[in-house]
Structure 1
Amino acid sequence: MGRVNFLTSLILSISVGVILFSGRPASAQLRQNFYSNTCPDVESIVRRAVSAKVSQTFVTIPATIRLFFHDCFVSGCDASVIVASTGGNTAEKDHPDNLSLAGDGFDTVIKAKAAVDAVPRCKNKVSCADILALATRDVIVLAGGPTYPVELGRLDGLSSTSASVNGNLPKANFNLNQLNSMFASRGLTQADMIALSACHTLGFSHCTQITNRLYNFSPGTPVDPTLNRQYATQLQGMCPRNVDPRVAIDMDPTSPRIFDNAYFQNLVQGKGLFTSDQVLFTDSRSRNTVTTWASNSQAFNAAFIQAITKLGRVGVKTGGNGNIRFDCGRFN
Structure 2
Amino acid sequence: MATSFNFLLLLLLLLLAGSTAAFPNFFLSPSFYSYTCPQLQGIVRSTMKEVIRNDTTNIGAGLLRLFFHDCFAGGCDASVLLDDTPEFVGEKTAPPNRNSLRGFEVIDLIKKRVEAACPRTVSCADILALTARDSVALLHGPRWKVWLGRSDSMAVDQNAATFSLPGPGSNLPILLAMFAAKGFSARDMVALSGAHTLGRSHCSLYRDRIHGDSNIDPAFSAALRATCPLSAANATATAPFDRTPERFDNWYFKDLVAFRGLMKSDQALYGGGLVDPLVEIYSEDNEAFGRDFAEAMVKLGNLSPLFGFYREIRLNCRKVNA
Same fold (TM over 0.5): yes
Q: Deviations over 1:270-295 (max 9, x none)?
A: 01011111111114310000101111
Residue of structure 2 in register with 1:149 after alignment: 145
Q: Does 1:298 align with 2:274?
A: no
1:18 is displaced (CA, Å) by 6.2
Contact 1:27 1:315 in 2 (8 A): no
Residue of structure 2 in register with 1:227 after alignment: 216
Superposition RMSD on alpha carbons, in Å?
1.6
CA distance in 2 between partners of 1:283 and 1:77 (Å): 34
Matched residue SS, 2:42: helix
Give runs of aligned pairs for residues 90-239 of structure 1, distance below 5 A: 90-103=89-102, 105-119=103-117, 122-215=118-211, 217=212, 224-239=213-228
Give the one of 18, 42, 45 matched to 1:44. Answer: 42
Amino acid of the structure 1 residue aligned with 2:100: L
Residue of structure 2 in register with 1:35 after alignment: 33
Which runs of 5 or more structure 2 residues have no equivalent in the other structure?
Answer: 1-15
Amino acid of the structure 2 residue aligned with 1:113: K
Matched residue SS, 1:205: strand
CA distance in 1 between partners of 2:220 and 2:54 (Å): 31
Contact 1:26 1:316 in 2 (8 A): no
Residue of structure 1 in register with 2:316 after alignment: 327
CA distance in 2 between partners of 1:135 and 1:300 (Å): 20
Residue of structure 2 in register with 1:249 after alignment: 239
Which runs of 5 or more structure 1 residues have no equivalent in the other structure?
Answer: 1-16, 218-223
Amino acid of the structure 1 residue aligned with 2:229: P
Amino acid of the structure 1 residue aligned with 2:258: Q
CA distance in 2 between partners of 1:60 and 1:182 (Å): 26
TM-score by length of 2: 0.90
Q: Deviations over 1:16-70 (max 9, x none)?
A: x964236x43653111111001001210011111222222224311110010010
Matched residue SS, 1:146: coil
CA distance in 2 between partners of 1:165 and 1:90 (Å): 12
CA distance in 2 between partners of 1:76 and 1:149 (Å): 19
Contact 1:71 1:79 in 2 (8 A): yes
Amino acid of the structure 1 residue aligned with 2:197: T
Q: Does 1:89 align with 2:88?
A: yes
CA distance in 1 between partners of 2:100 and 2:224 (Å): 22
Contact 2:79 2:152 in 1 (8 A): yes
Contact 1:83 1:330 in 2 (8 A): yes
Matched residue SS, 1:97: coil
Give runs of aligned pairs for residues 12-91 of structure 1, distance below 5 A: 19-21=18-20, 24-25=22-23, 27-58=25-56, 59-91=58-90
Aligned length: 304
Identity %: 36
CA distance in 1 between partners of 2:40 and 2:123 (Å): 11
Matched residue SS, 2:34: coil
Change (3 A) 1:173 1:146: same
Contact 2:95 2:162 in 1 (8 A): no
Give the one of 260, 263, 283 matched to 2:252. Answer: 263
Give the one of 269, 283, 287 matched to 2:276. Answer: 287
Matched residue SS, 1:272: coil
Contact 1:89 1:161 in 2 (8 A): no
Residue of structure 1 in register with 2:5 after alignment: none
TM-score by length of 1: 0.88
